[in-house]
């Protein structure tokens, strides 16, 4: 089963998010991440979600989403055709011995240090899933205290648009 990234244009209405999450729970689809935000038009919101599903289930997910009256459009953000990024904050242990090494790795990944304390650092990184995963891997040995991921969001490249 593969991971797919879907982008939805929805009416900015009461209950839309509940309908969508209810649909996934009810039909047993797996959501890996979900983000919601406003768009250039106040009447609409944009939802980006990543799901793990085989081709047939993915087809059903798209059709079931399209069936919701408040959902205006569903597109798939495919690798290559779209920019897909995630924002992650990582609080990692860092003392006088390790701090500079952590900062060095962060620089390699173009992550930035957004908080410095005696025993820890908070790092911020934006990137594709694989970049974020690779970074987390590198940081792990230093002792991750906690991290938080925004979920993937994305936009199609070039002249394509979801159309509001």
Partner 1 sequence: MIAAKLIWKCLERENVTTIFGYPGGALLPMYEALRQSSIEHILVRNEQAAPHYASGYARESGKVGVCLATSGPGATNLVTGIATAYLDSIPIVALTGQVNRDLIGTDAFQEADIFGATTPFTKHSYLVKDPLDLPRIIREAFHIASTGRPGPVLIDIPRDLQEENIKNVKFVDKVNIRGYKPTYEGHTGQVRRAIRKIKSSKRPVIYAGGGVRLSYAQDELLKFAEDTGIPVITTLMGIGAFPEDHPLYCGVVGSHGFEYSNKIMEHADLCICIGARMSDRGTTNNVANMNNMELIHIDIDPAEIGKNINDTNIPIVGDAKTVLLELMSKDIKKDTQDWLKTIEMIREDFPILFDANTELDGINPKLLFDAVSDIVPDDTTLVADVGLNQIWAALYFKIIKNRRFFTSGGLGTMAYAIPAAAGVAFATREHPKTILAVCGDGSFQMCMGELGVIAEHHLPVKIIMINNHKLGMVRQQQHDNYGKNHYSGTDINFDVDFMEIAKAYAIKGYRASTNEEALDAIKDALAQPGPTLVECQVNEDFIHI
Residues at the site binding partner 1, with contacts judged by CB under 8 A? 10-11, 14-15, 18-19, 22, 26, 56, 59-60, 63-64, 66-73
d(CA 164, CA 39): 9
CA quadruple 7, 2, 33, 125: dihedral sign: negative
Would you give the DSSP letter of residue 118? S
The nearer residue to partner 1, 26 or 118, going by C-beta atoms, is: 26
CB of 146: closest distance to partner 1 in angstroms? 32
Q: Number of C-alpha atoms within 13 angstroms, CB side, residue 48? A: 20
The nearer residue to partner 1, 64 or 150, going by C-beta atoms, is: 64
The nearer residue to partner 1, 30 or 107, going by C-beta atoms, is: 30
CB of 73: closest distance to partner 1 in angstroms? 8
d(CA 105, CA 139): 8
CB of 106: closest distance to partner 1 in angstroms? 43
The nearer residue to partner 1, 19 or 91, going by C-beta atoms, is: 19
* DSSP code per residue over 141-164: GG-EEEEEE---EEEE-TT-----
CB of 155: closest distance to partner 1 in angstroms? 20
């Amino acid at each position: 089963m593969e991971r797919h990234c879907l982008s939805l244009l929805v009416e900015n209405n009461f209950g839309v998010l509940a309908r969508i999450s209810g649909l996934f729970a009810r039909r047993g689809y797996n959501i890996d991440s979900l983000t919601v935000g406003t768009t250039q038009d106040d009447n609409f919101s944009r939802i980006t979600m990543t799901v793990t599903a085989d081709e047939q289930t993915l087809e059903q997910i798209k059709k079931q989403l399209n069936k919701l009256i408040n959902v205006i459009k569903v597109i798939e953000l495919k690798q290559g055709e779209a920019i897909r990024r995630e924002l992650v904050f990582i609080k990692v242990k860092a003392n006088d011995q390790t701090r500079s090494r952590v900062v060095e790795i962060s620089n390699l990944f173009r992550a930035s240090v957004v908080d410095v304390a005696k025993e820890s650092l908070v790092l911020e990184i934006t990137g594709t899933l694989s970049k974020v995963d690779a970074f987390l891997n590198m940081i792990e040995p230093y002792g991750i205290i906690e991290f938080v991921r925004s979920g993937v969001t994305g936009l199609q490249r070039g002249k394509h648009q979801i159309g509001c």
